Chain A
Amino acid sequence: MRPFRYERANDVSGAVALLAGTPNGAFLGGGTNLVDLMRLDVARPELLVDVRRLTSDRIEELPDGRVRVGAAVPNSDLAADPLIRARYPAVSEALLSGASGQLRNLATTGGNLLQRTRCVYFQNVSTPCNKRDPGAGCSAIDGHHWDLAILGASEACVATHPSDLAVALVALDAVVLTEGADGERRIPITELHRLPDREPHRDTILQHGELITAVELPPLPWATRSRYRKVRDRASYAFALVSAVVVLDTADGVVRDVRIGLGGVAHRPWRALVAEQALRGGPATEERFRQAAEAELAAARPLPGNAFKVRLARNTLVRTLLDVNEGRR
């Protein structure tokens, strides 16, 4: 790990100012991803601005029914929060399916959304990687890409975004609140993360030094009927190979509305708009669920080593739709 300075700011604008003047600095949340990557020499900040106790660590309901989650709220608190569990159970399930009890205690809401890919070459500085070192080449495309992207990848990068929380949040149309040198922004989370295209080193649209201060969940009464299903290489303490979140509203066997997110399939948490469109207004049957999943995955361009993930994503999505529809949460 390279030497670095450590600072704490008195307030959000102070933190933003500290980083604005240091192009090679980073915010520190729980550190569970940043410290990890610094130890691997992947992240090399010369200044860390600690924001773990800076932004709000509260979960509050706003008068119009939105729920605002401070960026400093630990993953475990968010998962256990009664309001979240009652209104957005998939958020809680997504968090609980990720990492471990210990890690969730350290990890923050803001940091979780900005964790970086688990691509093995990205984490190994002795191998080429465009995300770490633009222009160096991608080692994964002709190498080990078992767990990498099948949707939206580019010739430059086939990495996936590893966050489970983010997948639940894209399905719920959450909004990310930020503050940067240019002021405050409200960013729909579906727009926060990028596809790799020719700039895989940029995970998100955030500017350098732009701080996440909170995440807002819009009211969605039928979000109580939701489920997060994660498939992975071992029963716990592993990242997703594929995950699916389904929020479903049906009446008399007809899909009134639906929100679907897929994880482990792309460079960003994937909002399955094609599948949603295919389902809305139609009968809630297994056949339709399958057609919708296939429609969404028609765009899949897997690599030789992860072709199975197309079938896996389809079956996982169909199973999750069925479970939510049949009331098995």
Chain B
Amino acid sequence: MDLTLTPELATFREEVRAFLEAHGGEYEAGAPKDPKAWQRLLIDNGYAARTIPRAYGGFGAAPDGLKTRIIAEAFIDAGAPRGMSGQGISMLVPTLLEVGSEEQKTRWIPPTLSGDIIWCQGYSEPGAGSDLANLQTKAVEDGEDFLISGSKIWTSTAAQAQMMFCLVRTEPDKPKHEGISYILFPMDTPGIEVRPLKTMTGQAEFNEVFFTDVRVPKTNVVGGRGRGWQVANTTLKHERGMLGDPNATEARLKQLIELMKSETVDGQRIIDNPIFRDRLMQLQARVLSMKFNGLRTMTDDTAGLARLVVKLQGCELNHQVAALAIDALGELGILYQDGPHLRAKGRWQWNYMFDLGLIIGGGTAQIQKNIISERGLGMPREPKTVEA
């Protein structure tokens, strides 16, 4: 264990703090006033896309867990928004860096990092959710192109996205894991129709997407034809890291503490109610555990199991943080539409609902438990009853 702040790191921390102080006017209530300008500023200073090579529009620093942590902590303390995330930046970019061609990297990574291209992830289908390898959307060869037909569902941000990274079946005769390819295409390609799906939050965070003979050049395949399953697993690994991100949880807990200190019932602060306070302390211990677990996964070779549990534990914890906020708000916690008594623009209410979706999305809690028990604890796989 070596977490000492060397003089160099102490200086680095001062730099980050000074940066945030100097630019405090560029964000409000934890959100940037101009998201793209903020993103540019963060990349230029090494606070976003930090370890992505300069050639691809990143900052190009060597990986350094402690600096990453210092940045995260300073942003949390200042209540400052982090760089952009989302499926393009958090999932596609690391995947391209790992398995993309040079041409794909230079073409797609820079505009993704800058926020000019928003991506959506076309994996799930009506018949292929947890059993993703069962996907049926097909891509048929036609000269130098593929013609894609079929449909995707639960596709987040498909209505806003300019591009999709998508799993399609290119080899229908091969066993189900071997016939899949990972392919990129613009959402305005003829033959694509997006139908928003409204969720319980009242918004349409995800969509259905239909493909009819969508023409995509074969060169848009990432990681080799028929290798989509391996490539997708690279992406899923990054998705699970993003969904359970302990820094985001820590920032939320801090907002929750502020909420409980400022809200009163009959003149008594919520934090002075011992039952709520005890629930808060229980969650704080969990948030700290996940924070240190996160530090450990970055630097400890023996942290295999620690890595496998992040998605399951992190998403559940986010949901519980939102749940305590709702309960602390009491009757105010049921308000949702704009009105004089609504708190934080209804963000806690939205989080409480949407975070449940993140327990399901990206591999459900049950699938995570299968993975933990099989890969982490070496327990037997489910016996197959029917050949799917």
Partners in one complex: no
